[in-house]
Structure 1
Amino acid sequence: MHAGREGQMEHEHIGDGGRHDPADHEDHGNHDGHEDHEGHDGHEGHSLAMFRDRFWVSLVLSLPVVVTSHMIMEWFGYELRFTGIEWIAPVLGTVIFLYGGKPFLAGAAAEIRSRQPGMMLLIGMAITVAFVASWAASLDWFAIEVWWELSLLIVIMLLGHWLEMRAIGQAQGALAALAELLPDEAERVTSTGDVETVRIADLAVGDVVLVRPGARVPADGTVVDGSAELDESMITGESNPVPRGEGDRVVAASVAADGSIRVRVDALGEDTTLAGIRRLVAEAQESKSRTQVLADRAAALLFYVAVGAAALTMLVWALLGAPDTAITQSVTVLIIACPHALGLAIPLVMSISTSKSARNGILVKDRLALERMRKVDAVLFDKTGTLTKGEHAVTGVAAEDGIEDDELLALAAAVETDSEHPLARAIVAAARDRGLRLPPARDFRPMTGRGVQAYVDDTAVAVGGPALLRELGPDAPDGLSGRIEQWQQRGAAVLYVIRGGGVVGALALEDQVRPESRAAVEALHQLDVRVAMITGDAQQVADAVARDLGIDEVFAEVLPEEKDSAVTHLQDRGFTVAMVGDGVNDAPALARADVGIAIGAGTDVAMESAGIVLASDDPRGVVSVRRLSASSYRKMLQNLWWAAGYNLAALPLAAGVLAGVGFVLPMAVGAVLMSLSTIIVAANAQLLRRVDLNPAAIATG
């Protein structure tokens, strides 16, 4: 990341309540593009504002140099004569060389010291040769002067670097934007119940803060009172608010859309989810992919090619008796060969892809994992918590004659109201979702391992599984046996409702399949990706879910420590495998897979076993990752082909191979073409922003 203000911001802003001037986001401390592709920082201490200012000053100074050039006057048919005109170009050209060319000369010196020659050394050599030749001509030691070309070369170089840094800065501005999400202050609830306004930096773990409607949560924590719909889009990428109530976890910077909540602070500063996301994005943007390594080698090789071509050009033109042309065309070769576009080709795509993915809830920890994702042809989903919600829901109600299904559900919910069992909560939730009125129940009594019992309208009502039937004696009515058998074949949990000593109905409860899972499987099938599922559940449970979702292959009754063997099994069959799990007991499998994807990790971004983390629990995010991988790789290749192809085509023209037909590429035109190639590469990378990573759009598109 940038070494200047943004680096400081990363350590100071989260949790300190301070805000930074938005202008600071432009003033990047380093030119990261060069740090990435050259292996060292060729622009150490140089900011975007510095390139911008030097460009405008150099442009103004270059105008008199160009206007008073004899060559320009001949081209445009005018003549200027006044005392001292011959010194305008040398004086202003020297100022431009020393002031405008300073970043390139400093970068060249840094590359020499690090023994890693690259673009900055090429630029430094080109402008130095042009500067020396021009002074020699001004002192009548040499026949050619290229002050105007030198001046425009530096101006164009400064413009290209300014635009490049601006593009990279926009890509990496997402990190600064994340920091800006935190509020300056928080409302802390005191021990007496009063509310006081404090700076974020003054909060401590264990404090309780009040979050009003429309306000942002100041720190990670747990809701201790109240409920509200929270907008967590900056963490998960999901635009729809999610309900959060007492006992639920909330993350810093999420917005309370309605209602007020009181939150007990659990994490501050660098321990928050937001800080973790920023670290992941920063690490991903600083990491290198295989394509980046290729670009590094090409850029290094191009330096030696350029120097050799420039030397050969000078030698050939000198032997042909044209020393002036020898100097101008050798300088032009050095300019054309600058691997500027090549150096920008990969880092900019990487920066844009990682910042864009972070805004959509896709956290890339390992660039290689994202790069491999485009080749994945088999995705292995963990069932519980990934394809399903990991929470039981009522999926079937069967009542005896004389009682309605809703009446049976309300009766069961009344008995289960005081129970804390997950199945009990599912029954009560189902009754509330249907808007049922629950009859009053009293004398609630749990029956360990069998069920619960209470009195409703002075009649004993019990709810429980087969063990309850065996204890109380009644058999399930024949009219229910068919439905119950179907539920059991699906692996559903069956609970019976017994009233007054007789069975009046039964309920089926199953792990709830996420509504997005079917769309995720269908989208992967459209990409010719095989979909498999792994679970520790019984075979019939797994088969039922697989049939429902259209899954190709099932691994059932698998122990957590055996999950990685399923990954190996698929790999042995020739598949490139992505493992998708919740990151809790899937770590070995996530590490074994070609690509490990942890899903539903909005409040736990520090999982070490996955290369990619999906902040939301939407399995369609896997399709988003694959689309991002393919789009990023495509942009990288397009940029590499353009950058390398441009150099291969332009070098012979710069050397003067078409001089026989009257075409010699001017130095200034070479500089324009070099900068134009950089702008084209930057613009092409920006098109990556148009890729739609919204899971819903991908599933339907």
Structure 2
Amino acid sequence: MTTLHDHHEALRTDQQEGHSGHGGHGGHAGHGDHVAQFRRLFWIMLALAVPVVGFNDMFADLLGYPLPQGEWALWVSPFLGTVMYVWGGSPFLTGGVSEIRSRQPGMMLLIALGITVAFIASWGASLQVLDHGLNFWWELALLVVIMLLGHWIEMRSLAQTTSALDSLAALLPDEAEKVEGEDVVTLDPADLVVGDVVIVRPGASVPADGEIVDGSASMDESMVTGESTTVRRTTGENVVAGTVATDSGLRVQVTAIGDDTALAGIQKLVSDAQGSSSRAQRIADTAAAWLFWFALGAAVITALVWVMVGTPDSAVVRTITVLVIACPHALGLAIPLVVSIATERAARGGVLVKDRLALESMRSIDTVLFDKTGTLTKGEPTVTGVAPVTDRDRDEVLALAAAAEADSEHPLARAIVGAARERGLDVPAAADFSSSPAVGVRASVDGTVTEVGGPYLLEKHGLDEAPIAANWRDEGAIILHVVADGEVIGALRLADEIRSESRDAVDALHAAGTQVVMITGDARAVAETVAADLGIDRVFAGVRPQDKAAKVAELQDEGRRVAMVGDGVNDAPALAQADVGIAIGAGTDVAIASAGVVLAGSDPRSVLSVIELSHASYRKMKQNLWWAGGYNLISVPLAAGVLAPIGFVLPMSVGAILMSASTVVVALNAQVLRRLDLTPAKSTARILER
């Protein structure tokens, strides 16, 4: 089934501009051009309609005013009406021909039939070949104008759905400042090549994906990740095209340009999602196809019945009205417009929908399976406890440990140094640093030989562990001891820190009646600690990456509809197995093939945004389908004249107005989705409040 907006290529006869075919429901390229074309055509046809209607003798008789004397006045309506039929009706006529050629009759053919029958009947009446009562010039003029108005409003609605892509493209600066030796050259970002070094000034956007080679800045990455708080980026870290350096300047070496950038990847995802098919769309297509035959059959039956009751003129009027009012424009618009707006709203919140079926399926999910590391937790060790053994305090133990670890690149060392920095501790300088694999590090700190390490360090010195170590071990924590001059002065507890947002995400999912399951390769003690902290219903621990998909299948075998939330790397098989695969914290890696939904940020509450969007868009689809389909089923019999015996006959012009009104109602109803704030915090709060 070919939809209404697929046929707007017909306007090429009016304005031959290069424009690729839509190729389906989601082809929104060029809708901005179509808005301008339909707007111009509407105003021209409206201007022509005034004399066509004004000089029509039937309309003059209806309102009771005299027409100018002279033969010329009788030909104003036929002449200008023909111009309106050929010019103003060209989108519908060429669209109808296209549907015949593709053997997919639909709404454009119905409009073409309606205006063609009215055109032929009117000429027949003007030439006195047919009854004078079939002079429909004024109704033909109104029909063309009203249909163009409906199309203009529809195209404007569709054009607005591309604003996500337009706004993404607008994130890139108009100019880039490239460093060439001692000089700085201004050029178009499109002219940058990999390896170029560019200057990003405070408040400016990054022109291409790259690595910071000089400077540090708080980066506003909300346009890519949906997360409102700025993120500190410094030398050696990557930045994404379109993000903004809010407080200081940077020098960035370009690592990706053009279609290889994260921004281009996000644009492609949004575009592909708007173009992908779905179950609801297939239902709408099938309904529109059946509606065409329903309308055509109703028109034939109407013509036969009215001829048999002895009023052939009324048969023509009723048949035209049926063809006009039955056009399933609203049905063709019902699903594509909702999906386009939904995917746009999602993209603005950092939720990138790759597969519309995934979005559709989220409303029926009853189990959300979270990967632990990097999803519910930050995926990196953090100091979660400091226990002094001697008379030293916590800050002193941590400061000595940080001093000894300062020159180490190990993740645990970075965690210890980071913890000291966060607490604002004065970390003394260390000397004579050395590192021993599986044992730990050693350095001289203010004349004290300080060592930090695991169980082998204690074994080496024949020392006992801190009393609290046994409890920490039961919780699955990493335990390091701090030794000063051969004496244990304290212990450090390190664990993968739980994201602060994870608790809200789990609570909101429970409030929505969804079971929360966690899967991890960590030991059961670690998993149970995290699960107990967050209130998770069920835990799969000690699961190897290749076995995660089997656990998803196990839940599905229990009759559950499962959404898997993971980092998209080692979780790929499980993401593919799940009913909906959601890759979280993808950041710049937006092309994850195994996920139907990609969350550019790392906030697990974004899952609630996806669920809320799924429910909201499904409601709008249902409302639009019921309105569009129900309207036609009720209005066609009225147009056919079933109430004529009691004196009610639906005028053709009113039929045209109702037809366009139904399209406008569907378009306006879909626009309500634009008000939905899909930021993770807002979605979670709304669900918790219910």
TM class, shorter-chain normalised?
over 0.9
Q: Matched residues in 2 for 1:571 and 1:529: separation?
A: 14
Q: Matched residues in 2 for 1:225 and 1:115: separation?
A: 62
Equivalent residue for 1:21?
none
Equivalent residue for 1:502?
487
Q: Matched residues in 2 for 1:323 and 1:602: separation?
A: 68
Matching residue's letter, 1:148: W
Matching residue's letter, 2:417: V
| 1:336 partnered with 2:325 | yes
Equivalent residue for 1:165?
155
Equivalent residue for 1:54?
41
Relative to structure 1, the CA distance from residue 28 to residue 685 in structure 2 (aligned partners, 3 Å threshold; closer, same or farther) is farther
The alpha-carbon deviation at position 69 of structure 1 amounts to: 2.7
Matching residue's letter, 1:60: A
Q: Matched residues in 1 for 2:255 and 2:247: separation?
A: 22
The alpha-carbon deviation at position 247 of structure 1 amounts to: 1.8
Q: Matched residues in 1 for 2:425 and 2:161: separation?
A: 51
CA contact 2:431–2:443 (8 Å) conserved in 1: yes
The alpha-carbon deviation at position 534 of structure 1 amounts to: 0.6
CA distances 1:622-680 after superposition (whole Å, capped 9, x unpaired): 11001111111110010000000000110110000111111100000000000000000
Matching residue's letter, 2:492: L
| 1:515 partnered with 2:497 | no
SS in 2 for 1:116: coil
Equivalent residue for 1:369?
358
Equivalent residue for 1:13?
none
Equivalent residue for 1:245?
234
Matching residue's letter, 2:39: R
Q: Matched residues in 2 for 1:147 and 1:457: separation?
A: 100
CA distances 1:582-627 after superposition (whole Å, capped 9, x unpaired): 0110110000000001111121111111111010011111110011
| 1:444 partnered with 2:433 | yes
The alpha-carbon deviation at position 441 of structure 1 amounts to: 1.5
Q: Matched residues in 2 for 1:175 and 1:369: separation?
A: 20
The alpha-carbon deviation at position 31 of structure 1 amounts to: 8.5
CA distances 1:255-290 after superposition (whole Å, capped 9, x unpaired): 110111221211100000011111111111111110
CA contact 2:584–2:599 (8 Å) conserved in 1: yes
User: Which of 60, 77, 85 is the matching residue for 2:73?
Assistant: 85
Relative to structure 1, the CA distance from residue 45 to residue 372 in structure 2 (aligned partners, 3 Å threshold; closer, same or farther) is closer
User: Which of 665, 669, 692 is the matching residue for 2:650?
Assistant: 665
Equivalent residue for 1:130?
118
Q: Matched residues in 2 for 1:241 and 1:641: separation?
A: 44
CA contact 1:583–1:598 (8 Å) conserved in 2: yes
Aligned residue runs from structure 1 range 365-444, under 5 A:
365-444=354-433
Q: Matched residues in 1 for 2:235 and 2:498: separation?
A: 25
Deviates more, 1:68-77 or 1:638-647: 68-77
CA contact 2:31–2:156 (8 Å) conserved in 1: no
Equivalent residue for 1:561?
546
Equivalent residue for 1:146?
136
Equivalent residue for 1:624?
609
Q: Matched residues in 1 for 2:33 and 2:671: separation?
A: 23
CA distances 1:318-355 after superposition (whole Å, capped 9, x unpaired): 11111111111100000111000000000100111111
CA contact 2:451–2:483 (8 Å) conserved in 1: yes
Relative to structure 1, the CA distance from residue 46 to residue 267 in structure 2 (aligned partners, 3 Å threshold; closer, same or farther) is closer
CA contact 2:609–2:684 (8 Å) conserved in 1: no
Equivalent residue for 1:76?
63
The alpha-carbon deviation at position 3 of structure 1 amounts to: 10
Equivalent residue for 2:639?
654
User: Which of 64, 85, 94 is the matching residue for 2:51?
Assistant: 64
CA contact 2:24–2:275 (8 Å) conserved in 1: no
The alpha-carbon deviation at position 493 of structure 1 amounts to: 0.6
TM-score, L = length of structure 2: 0.94
CA contact 1:31–1:46 (8 Å) conserved in 2: no
User: Which of 209, 216, 236 is the matching residue for 1:220?
Assistant: 209
Aligned residue runs from structure 1 range 199-598, under 5 A:
199-476=188-465, 480-481=466-467, 483-598=468-583
Q: Matched residues in 2 for 1:199 and 1:667: separation?
A: 56
Matching residue's letter, 1:50: Q
Equivalent residue for 1:16?
none
The alpha-carbon deviation at position 207 of structure 1 amounts to: 1.7
Relative to structure 1, the CA distance from residue 3 to residue 655 in structure 2 (aligned partners, 3 Å threshold; closer, same or farther) is closer
The alpha-carbon deviation at position 239 of structure 1 amounts to: 1.8
SS in 1 for 2:500: coil
The alpha-carbon deviation at position 75 of structure 1 amounts to: 3.3
CA distances 1:385-411 after superposition (whole Å, capped 9, x unpaired): 111111111100111242111111111
Q: Matched residues in 1 for 2:395 and 2:69: separation?
A: 102
| 1:119 partnered with 2:107 | yes
Equivalent residue for 2:14?
none
Relative to structure 1, the CA distance from residue 193 to residue 520 in structure 2 (aligned partners, 3 Å threshold; closer, same or farther) is farther
CA contact 1:543–1:554 (8 Å) conserved in 2: yes
Q: Matched residues in 2 for 1:276 and 1:175: separation?
A: 11
Matching residue's letter, 1:78: Y
Equivalent residue for 2:13?
none
Equivalent residue for 2:145?
155
CA contact 1:28–1:47 (8 Å) conserved in 2: no
CA distances 1:471-516 after superposition (whole Å, capped 9, x unpaired): 112213xxx41x3222111111111111111111111010011111
- Mark the runs of 5 or more structure 2 residues left unpaired by the alignment: 10-16
| 1:605 partnered with 2:590 | yes
Deviates more, 1:130-139 or 1:54-63: 54-63
Q: Matched residues in 1 for 2:220 and 2:6: separation?
A: 32
SS in 2 for 1:152: helix
SS in 2 for 1:508: strand
CA distances 1:88-125 after superposition (whole Å, capped 9, x unpaired): 11011111101100110010010011110000000000
Q: Matched residues in 2 for 1:199 and 1:597: separation?
A: 36
Q: Matched residues in 1 for 2:640 and 2:284: separation?
A: 24
TM-score, L = length of structure 1: 0.93
Q: Matched residues in 1 for 2:475 and 2:393: separation?
A: 24
CA contact 2:212–2:236 (8 Å) conserved in 1: yes
- Mark the runs of 5 or more structure 1 residues left unpaired by the alignment: 7-26
Q: Matched residues in 1 for 2:418 and 2:183: separation?
A: 35
The alpha-carbon deviation at position 46 of structure 1 amounts to: 7.6
Relative to structure 1, the CA distance from residue 637 to residue 443 in structure 2 (aligned partners, 3 Å threshold; closer, same or farther) is same
* Count, aligned residues: 671
Q: Matched residues in 2 for 1:45 and 1:680: separation?
A: 21
Q: Matched residues in 1 for 2:36 and 2:317: separation?
A: 31
CA distances 1:17-63 after superposition (whole Å, capped 9, x unpaired): xxxxxxxxxx995795x9429xx99x999822211111101111111
Q: Matched residues in 2 for 1:193 and 1:531: separation?
A: 57
CA contact 1:46–1:103 (8 Å) conserved in 2: no
Equivalent residue for 1:178?
168
CA contact 1:182–1:216 (8 Å) conserved in 2: yes
Q: Matched residues in 1 for 2:211 and 2:610: separation?
A: 30
Deviates more, 1:78-87 or 1:310-319: 78-87
Q: Matched residues in 2 for 1:486 and 1:339: separation?
A: 69
Equivalent residue for 1:615?
600
SS in 1 for 2:582: strand
